[in-house]
Amino acid sequence: MFPKPSTVLFFITLLSGTLMSVSSTTWMGAWMGLEINMLSFIPLISNSSNQRTTESSIKYFIIQAIGSVVIITVALTSVTMSSLFHSWVLSSPLILALLLKSGAAPLHFWFPGVMEGMNWMNCMTLMTWQSVAPLALISYTNSPQILLSSAILSGFVGALGGLNQTLLRKLMAYSSIGHMGWMLASMNSSETFWLMYLMVYSLLSIAVASAFNSTNSFHIGQFFQAQMPNNMTKYLLNTNLLSLGGLPPFLGFFPKWMAIQVIMTNSPLTTIMLILAALINLFYYIRLTFSAFITTTYNQKWSIKTRLQPNLGPETIMAVLSMTSLLMIPMIWPL
């Protein structure tokens, strides 16, 4: 089934807005790219037949508009009154506005609520592509105290917020906040390493969200009782969940392992705090996979015909990522 022409148009402008914001040499051009990106994503979220999606689009618009107002105000102030203010006075509200747009703590309050009202395809876009432009603009600034503080808060908010969650979309939202902390901390130590972390996290998030979308799972109970095409698909899904939690020797452990080595040289305390938060984060992933893969492993006779027609899209993605995860074994074996 081909998408609507309007959906294709908005998706193209969504990509163009991010590229324009990242490649801009002025804050005015970056602001314009963020606005194009926001105005393209809102029509993709909203659906007239579902009030929850409309509510999410309104929340997303209000939050992004507040961040855009702060960015354009700081951009104009830095041009007209730069001699009267110190650089940190202008950079602090700018970084806070970008943290608000990216959904990092302590300005994360909107992220789980917006995720809860969207479908899985839009959730994938919000967790991955929509974070590229704000994080890239944050990397252009220089405020290590704010970045490290937000990184530690994001790690613990993502870990503690997902403990009692039974909704899969909120669980993935808090997981995204936790991974945001690792990216902010690595950004403070390396200018380009956070891009590799974002790429690996995006691949794993797309694989897991695609599996949830194919099984139409939005609640943990639905995930436990979801009819997979075969046992291999169930194995691959749970493997990617553990990889998303950063359990070795899977692919998701590789960026965390590299981040620990990079961050430890500049901020050992931040590294210890992020590791503690990652252990809590991994706990609810193990709880989810243990319950779904071990205690509820059964095959119903009336699901035999459905296994003859598997959905090859998410299954292929999970298979490729799971096979890639096996490459981690010889890399960490000397450790």
- pLDDT tens readout for residues 201-236: 998 898 888 888 888 889 887 777 666 666 667 777
- pLDDT at site 69: 94
Q: Give the contacts of 273 (CB within 8 A, at least 6 positions apart).
A: 152, 155, 156
Nearest to 209 by CA among 175, 163, 186: 175
Instruction: Render pLDDT for 62-91 as a digit per residue (tens, 0 to 9).
Output: 999 999 999 998 888 776 654 444 556 667
* Residues comprising the chain, all counted: 335
- pLDDT at site 247: 87
- pLDDT at site 91: 78
- pLDDT at site 329: 45
Q: What is the mean pLDDT of residues 306-330?
A: 49
Q: What is the mean pLDDT of residues 185-192?
A: 84
Instruction: Render pLDDT for 75-132 as a digit per residue (tens, 0 to 9).
Output: 887 766 544 445 566 678 899 999 999 999 999 999 999 999 999 999 999 999 999 9
Helix, strand, or coil (residue 128)? coil
* Degrees, nearest 5: CA angle 178-135-54: 75
Task: Write the DSSP assignment of 200-258 as a string of letters.
Answer: HHHHHHHHHHHHHHHHT--BHHHHHT---SSHHHHHHHHHHHHHHHT-TTSTTHHHHHH
Does 334 have pLDDT greater than 50?
no
Nearest to 112 by CA among 37, 203, 177, 46: 177
Q: How confident is the model at residue 262 (pLDDT cuts 50, 70, 90)?
A: confident
Does 321 have pLDDT greater than 60?
no
Average pLDDT score, the chain: 82
Question: For the chain, what percent of residues have pLDDT higher than 90?
Answer: 44
pTM: 0.88
Does 307 have pLDDT greater than 60?
no
- C-beta atoms surrounding 86 within 10 Å: 9
Residue 129 CA from chain centroid, whole number: 8
- 312 CB-side CA count, 13 A: 2
Q: How confident is the model at residue 149 (pLDDT cuts 50, 70, 90)?
A: very high
Give yes or no for a contact between 106 and 150, defined as CB atoms under 8 angstroms apart: yes
- pLDDT at site 303: 47
Q: Give the contacts of 97 (CB within 8 A, at least 6 positions apart).
A: 66, 67, 68, 70, 71, 74
Q: How confident is the model at residue 240 (pLDDT cuts 50, 70, 90)?
A: confident
Residue 219 dihedral angles phi and psi, to the nearest 5°: -130, 155
- pLDDT at site 141: 84
Q: Where are the domains of the chain?
A: 5-332
